[in-house]
Amino acid sequence: MAPVLVLWLAVCLSVTWAVDRGNFKTCDQSAFCKRQRALKPAESPYRALLETMELTNTRLTLQLINDNNKVRLLLELYRLQGNMTRVKINELKPLKPRYEVPDVLIREPPTEPLSLLSQDENGVVLSLGAESQRVIVSARPFRLDIMEGRDVLMSLNSRGLLAFEHLRMRKDTFSYKVTSTVASVWDNIKRVFSSQVEPEAEKKEEGDPANQSETTKEEEEKVEDGMWEETFKSHSDSKPNGPSAVSLDFSLPGVEHVYGIPEHADTLRLKTTDNGDPYRLYNLDVFQYELYNPMALYGAVPVMLAHNAQRTTGIFWLNAAETWVDISSNTAGKTVFGKMLDYVQGSSETPQTDVRWISESGIIDVFIMLGPTPNDVFSQYASLTGTQSFPPLAAVGYHQCRWNYNDQEDVTSVDAGFDEHDIPYDYIWLDIEHTDGKRYFTWDPHKFATPKEMLQGLMDKKRKMVAIVDPHIKVDSNYKIHNEIRSRGFYIKNKDGGDYEGWCWPGSAGYPDFTRADMREWWASMFAYDQYEGSMENLYTWNDMNEPSVFNGPEVTMHKDAVHGAWEHRDVHNLYGFYVQMATAEGLIQRSGGVERPFVLTRAFFAGSQRYGAVWTGDNAAEWEHLKISIPMCLSLGLVGISFCGADVGGFFKSPSTELLVRWYQTGAYQPFFRAHAHLDTPRREPWLFGPENTALIREAVRQRYALLPYWYQQFYHAHRTGQPIMRPLWVEYPQDPATFALDDEFLIGRDLLVHPVTEEGARGVTAYLPGKGEVWFDVQTFQKHNGAQNLYIPVTMSSIPVFQRGGSIIPKKIRVRRASSCMMHDPYTLYVALNPQRTAEGKLYIDDGHTFNYEKKEFIHRRLSFTNNILSSVNLAPDAQFTTQSWIERIVILGASKPSTVTLKTADGKESQLEFDFDASMSVLTLRKPGMNAGVDWNVMLQ
């Protein structure tokens, strides 16, 4: 949802359908961004003081000095396990501590020894282990280069944009005493004056070291606008700590493609920002966001991936303050012809992408992930911030949401509607109207008078519910939650020390300080069945508005000078939503005594949020472009660890055409988080409201999802184990094929399914790129075989969802689709074996109880299925794991097969039996009838 109430007024004045850009800052309106961006590439004023270098077994430290103001910084350099380098820069002696982001890293990253290779007065060379990888620290000016052999992989401060605004005392000057308006005029005059004297001062400094302190003083007095106070619209930011921004540039030689830094409504491949604003990372509740621009949205993950055909690397900028990322490229302006010309002429200029990160406060703490493969980067990043939480199986099913299902009767009738129209679903959702006056953890006494009765009704059908719990708490002395938080002093404070109050759904609201561990513990305890009245074990949670959204705050969020204990909101802003989801997920775990897996959806997020549940792309609109953008938005999230991603099916604002709704279901069915949602003011759009034909199309899309649940679930398990994205860009699996680098209208699920949803209105066909020279792909509907490394035109009708299975893969499905995922628990599997040209295939089968943490206690089945030499076999991948299943193998479909004369099943006990089969010569599809063996045991099937 969005702050409709507040923006209502704005909409009344300008009835255009789009974000009101004026509500959100541009770089120019954000004082530190403007200040930092004004610095242009030049020789860095920073110099490494090599004589201060200390090298221990785990790290190198070294002081940096800014020759302009003589402020010293401390550089720490670590070589981390798994081919990563960590670079930390802080003030050597800050006036007070600067914020370092806690709780995002899953542990202190283990280090590996750094060894000194050489040293002279120009710098030092350190070894990063065996692979001829080195870090070169240059002293004057300071820069870092990471090399492999003769290649530079990445350079830091090579453009001299390292900047570190040291904490300083506010000078009790004339300009301070006069009013701010006068002050800014005065500042301007002074700036003009000081810029005139500057060259002279520099000369003086060089010539006369004795003058140094005086010059320094002069530098410091150069107070610019917005350093000690800043206003945006009617909001002023008091900035008691003054300027504190940090900035650093990274050069990526040989790189033309960079990805990541969600959340933006933009293409998968990031664009250069030279001609506009940088990409902004600042969690905001943006009303009716616009597409294809770098404006900040609800979440922020400061992780960027860089890729070329040889290597994939990553940069993780661990900073939770407002952050801007500039991207430029030396090839960006060139036409294709220009590039070819370079090639023909043998131009020595290699392509290069330059990136620059600017954050408002905190320190520089960067993790450089050196790959070299995409999967290496994923596991490197996962080793820092953890992997996708493993959701309960049901959460991978279909979710039916709407703002709002009006009352219990409405819930019952929608639930019955799904049965009547034979459409499966697992969760029905309740938005804010279910509460008693927007007091979370309560129920509307009239509309939801007997929530347990309602939940029991759902449970009887093996279905579940999600109810919203937002982090803004109604200020109401009759509300238990508010009273508790206030009496415990858990609210965030305003700059004057009182409880911060903002305007949100309930009216005046307080915001619990989720950065406090004791607050989170208390919050988690509120989900206990005896605390959260009316809750049951099939009730799960949705955290919305946790940017946090403050309707009457600057940029619809919290004032930066609000106070979280020792820190300002400025320092922790992008972490708030992360903590809310963390505490909520913990609550759901605790209420079951640590047995059951939680499911929590969040709108705001940060690096590491993947550990706590799912995210969605916020308040989109029922427009074709929004359907299209759901693909790059979720792909970008997947690349930075957040795999459990989806967009509101149908679009949140406005009302979709029937065609758009159907196409959105077809697309959503193949994205990790599959939930339909709609705004309060839109007409109802349950799947059966658009005539029998469209009901059938939607039913079929949802059923395809359910049939594929075993594969999806396996992907989640894999993501949980490895950090690899579930929904992936093609280049992740085909890293050497440049044709895949910018594709974002199709994607892979795991390795084995390629999906090119129809996202054009009135489409008669789509052109999908099938990657892989020498590979083949099978249409999952027709079993038609297509060669890889081609653009394939696929004619489509309204029922088409172009999906292809990779030759060489084995995908398990449960084609007995039932009304909810847990009803399918014991159902048998059908294995789809798609042969590659070498006539081999491989796949996996993962089975567990679907909802508890017992898989951590080795209670699961994990098997490798492989087809080679005409033998399909199932081998245990986890012999030490224990789990039994009632599921069996009911059918094996081999695509690209030839006709055998006999098919023999051999089970572990040595028994052999002949299997009946069916061969479709036109499509070369061999179907083995009812082999019947249990899915959890060893077996062979021989084709002769």
Partner 1 sequence: MMCCQYILLLLLLGVSGGVSAVEVQRPRGVPLSKRQFYEEDKPFTCLDGSRNIPFDRVNDDYCDCQDGSDEPGTAACPNGSFHCTNAGFRPGFIPSSRINDGICDCCDTTDEYNSGAACQNTCRELGRKERESLQKMAEIAKEGFLLKQQLIQEAKRGLEDKKAKYADVQLSKNEFEKRVEALRTVKETAEQPEKEAKERHLKAWEDQKAVIQMEKDKARKAEVFLELDDDADGFVSVAELLSHSELDPDSDVSFTEAEAQGLLGGVDKVDAVAFESVWINIKEKYISEANADSPAPVETPLAEMRDNESEQYPEEDIPDDEEDDDEEDEDDDPDDDYKSPPTMQTQEKKDDEDEGTMPPYDQETQNLIDAAQKARDAFDEAERALREVDDQIKNLEKEISFDFGPTAEFAYLYSQCYELTSSEYIYRLCPFNRVSQKPKYGGSETNLGTWGQWAGPEDNPYSIMKYEHGTGCWQGPNRSTTIKLTCGKETVLTSTSEPSRCEYLMEFTSPAVCQEPSSLDSVLHEHEEL
Catalytic residues: 544, 619
Nearer to partner 1, 776 or 831 (CB): 831
Nearest to 624 by CA among 587, 644, 650, 589: 650
Q: How far is the CB of 502 from partner 1 (least distance, A)?
A: 23
| C-alpha–C-alpha distance, residues 548 and 71, integer Å | 35
> Can you tell me which of 816, 839, 864, 906 binds partner 1, judged by CB under 8 A?
816
Q: Which stretch binds partner 1 (CB under 8 A): 479-487, 561-569, 662-670, 675-683?
A: 675-683
Under the binding rule (CB under 8 A), the answer on residue 420 touching partner 1 is no
Q: Parallel, antiparallel, or unpaired: how do β-strands 312-317 and 364-369 relate?
A: antiparallel
Q: How far is the CB of 23 from partner 1 (least distance, A)?
A: 18
Q: How far is the CB of 538 from partner 1 (least distance, A)?
A: 14
DSSP string, 740-806: GTT--S-EEETTTEEE----STT-SEEEEEEP-TT-EEEETTT--EEESSEEEEEE--TT---EEEE
Q: How far is the CB of 294 from partner 1 (least distance, A)?
A: 27
Q: How far is the CB of 12 from partner 1 (least distance, A)?
A: 9
Q: How far is the CB of 680 from partner 1 (least distance, A)?
A: 6
> Can you tell me which of 47, 462, 486, 628 binds partner 1, judged by CB under 8 A?
462
Q: Which residue type, as a one-letter code, is found at position 63?
A: Q
Q: Which stretch binds partner 1 (CB under 8 A): 429-437, 566-574, 741-749, 810-818?
A: 810-818
List 787's β-bridge partners, or say none: 776
DSSP 442: -
Sign of the dihedral defined by the CA atoms of residues 606, 608, 611, 616, in that order = positive
SS3 452: helix
DSSP 852: B
> Can you tell me which of 20, 112, 410, 938 binds partner 1, judged by CB under 8 A?
410
Cis, peptide link before residue 404, omega less than 30° from 0:
yes
Sign of the dihedral defined by the CA atoms of residues 341, 346, 347, 353, in that order = positive
Under the binding rule (CB under 8 A), the answer on residue 942 touching partner 1 is no
| C-alpha–C-alpha distance, residues 313 and 326, integer Å | 18
Q: Which stretch binds partner 1 (CB under 8 A): 458-466, 783-791, 792-800, 838-846?
A: 458-466
Q: Which stretch binds partner 1 (CB under 8 A): 36-44, 263-271, 303-311, 823-831?
A: 823-831
Under the binding rule (CB under 8 A), the answer on residue 200 touching partner 1 is no
Nearer to partner 1, 152 or 414 (CB): 414
Under the binding rule (CB under 8 A), the answer on residue 538 touching partner 1 is no
> Can you tell me which of 422, 436, 596, 938 binds partner 1, judged by CB under 8 A?
422
Q: How far is the CB of 462 from partner 1 (least distance, A)?
A: 6
Nearer to partner 1, 225 or 827 (CB): 827
Nearer to partner 1, 312 or 822 (CB): 822
Nearer to partner 1, 8 or 292 (CB): 8
Q: How far is the CB of 689 from partner 1 (least distance, A)?
A: 9
Nearer to partner 1, 23 or 215 (CB): 23
Q: How far is the CB of 109 from partner 1 (least distance, A)?
A: 46
Nearer to partner 1, 9 or 38 (CB): 9
Q: Which stretch binds partner 1 (CB under 8 A): 172-180, 549-557, 812-820, 869-877?
A: 812-820
Contacts of 540 (CB under 8 A, 6+ apart): 395, 427, 464, 465, 466, 467, 588, 598, 599, 600
Burial of 199 (0-12, 13-18, 19+ CB in 10 A): exposed
Q: Which stretch binds partner 1 (CB under 8 A): 263-271, 351-359, 577-585, 815-823?
A: 815-823
Contacts of 92 (CB under 8 A, 6+ apart): 63, 72, 73, 74
Under the binding rule (CB under 8 A), the answer on residue 891 touching partner 1 is yes
| C-alpha–C-alpha distance, residues 603 and 541, integer Å | 12
| Cα-trace Rg, the chain | 29
Nearest to 846 by CA among 860, 833, 832, 857: 860
Q: How far is the CB of 470 from partner 1 (least distance, A)?
A: 21
Nearer to partner 1, 313 or 822 (CB): 822
CB 65 within 8 A of CB 93: no
Q: How far is the CB of 529 from partner 1 (least distance, A)?
A: 23
Q: How many CB atoms lie within 10 A of CB 749?
A: 21
| C-alpha–C-alpha distance, residues 366 and 824, integer Å | 46
Residues numbered 677 to 696 that lie near partner 1 (CB under 8 A) are: 679-684
Q: Which residue type, as a one-letter code, is found at position 579?
A: Y
| C-alpha–C-alpha distance, residues 311 and 571, integer Å | 34
Which positions from 915 to 934 touch partner 1 by CB under 8 A, shown as an x/- string?
Answer: --------------xx----
> Can you tell me which of 446, 496, 869, 914 binds partner 1, judged by CB under 8 A?
446
> Can you tell me which of 491, 500, 653, 829 binds partner 1, judged by CB under 8 A?
653
DSSP string, 620-684: -BSSHHHHHHHHHHHHHHHHTT---EE--BT-SBS---HHHHHHHHHHHTTSSSEEE---TTSPP
Nearer to partner 1, 404 or 800 (CB): 404
User: Which run of H or of E encompasses 11?
Assistant: helix 4-13
Find the Cα–Cα–Cα–Cα dihedral 189, 235, 245, 386, rounded to 10°.
-170
Under the binding rule (CB under 8 A), the answer on residue 171 touching partner 1 is no
| Tokens found for residue 38 | 């004004």
Under the binding rule (CB under 8 A), the answer on residue 42 touching partner 1 is no
Q: How far is the CB of 819 from partner 1 (least distance, A)?
A: 7
Nearer to partner 1, 410 or 596 (CB): 410
SS3 846: strand
Nearer to partner 1, 706 or 747 (CB): 706
Under the binding rule (CB under 8 A), the answer on residue 817 touching partner 1 is yes
Residues numbered 696 to 735 that lie near partner 1 (CB under 8 A) are: 703
Q: Which stretch binds partner 1 (CB under 8 A): 341-349, 460-468, 587-595, 785-793?
A: 460-468
User: Site size for partner 1, by CB under 8 A?
Assistant: 31
Under the binding rule (CB under 8 A), the answer on residue 815 touching partner 1 is yes
Under the binding rule (CB under 8 A), the answer on residue 884 touching partner 1 is no
| C-alpha–C-alpha distance, residues 887 and 847, integer Å | 9
Q: Which residues bind partner 1 (CB under 8 A)?
A: 8, 11, 406, 410, 422, 446, 460-462, 653-654, 679-684, 703, 815-819, 822-824, 827, 890-891, 929-930
